[in-house]
Amino acid sequence: MAGRGKLIAVIGDEDTCTGFLLGGIGELNKNRSPNFLVVEKETSIAEIEETFKSFLTRNDIGIILINQFIAEMIRHAIDQHMESIPAVLEIPSKEHPYDASKDSILRRAKGMFCRALFTTVLVCLDHVSLLVMWTPRNLKLSTSSLCLGGSDIFATVSENRPVGEFIANLSIVGDPTGVNSIRLCLTGENANWFYLEGRTIRLNSSILRVLDRERQGSVLMAALTCYEDDIIQILNENDNKPRFLEKTIQPRYISELTAVNSVVFTVKAIDADGDTITYIIDRASPDASYFRIDLPNSGKVILDKPLDYETKTKLQLVIYAVETNTKEWYNTSASLIVNVEDGDDHYPQFLPCTPISQDHNHTVVCTNPIYVVNITEKDQDMLLNFSPGPIHAEDGDRSLDTPLLYSILSGADKNRFQIDNQTAEITMTKRVENRHMTPIFRLRIMASQLNDPKKYSVATALVRVLAENRFPPLFNRTTYKGFIIESSSPATLVSTYGNEVLFIQAIDQDFVDGVNPKMHYSLQPTRATTGLYHITEEGVIIAKTDRLRSFDRLILEVRSLSDKYTVPCESIRPP
Predicted confidence at residue 403, as pLDDT, reads 93
Q: Which residues make beta-bridge pairs with 535?
A: 541
Spatial distance between the Cα atoms of 419 and 426, rounded to a whole number of angstroms: 4
Query: pLDDT below 50 — which residues of the chain?
Result: 1-4, 111-129, 134, 137-143, 564-575
pTM recorded for the entire structure: 0.41
Predicted confidence at residue 115, as pLDDT, reads 33
Predicted confidence at residue 228, as pLDDT, reads 67
Predicted confidence at residue 448, as pLDDT, reads 94
Residues 6+ apart with CB under 8 A from 363: 308, 310, 311
Predicted confidence at residue 444, as pLDDT, reads 96
Spatial distance between the Cα atoms of 410 and 209, rounded to a whole number of angstroms: 93
Chain CA centroid to CA 304, Å: 10
CA-wise closest residue to 428 among 411, 405, 409, 448 = 411
Predicted confidence at residue 292, as pLDDT, reads 95
Beta-sheet pairing, 426-428 with 417-419: antiparallel
Label residue 86 exposed, middle or buried (CB < 10 Å: 0-12, 13-18, 19+). buried
**pLDDT tens digits for range 404-456:** 999 999 999 999 999 999 999 999 999 998 888 999 999 999 999 999 999 89
CA-wise closest residue to 552 among 528, 526, 527, 575 = 575
Q: Which residues make beta-bridge pairs with 95?
A: none
Predicted confidence at residue 127, as pLDDT, reads 47
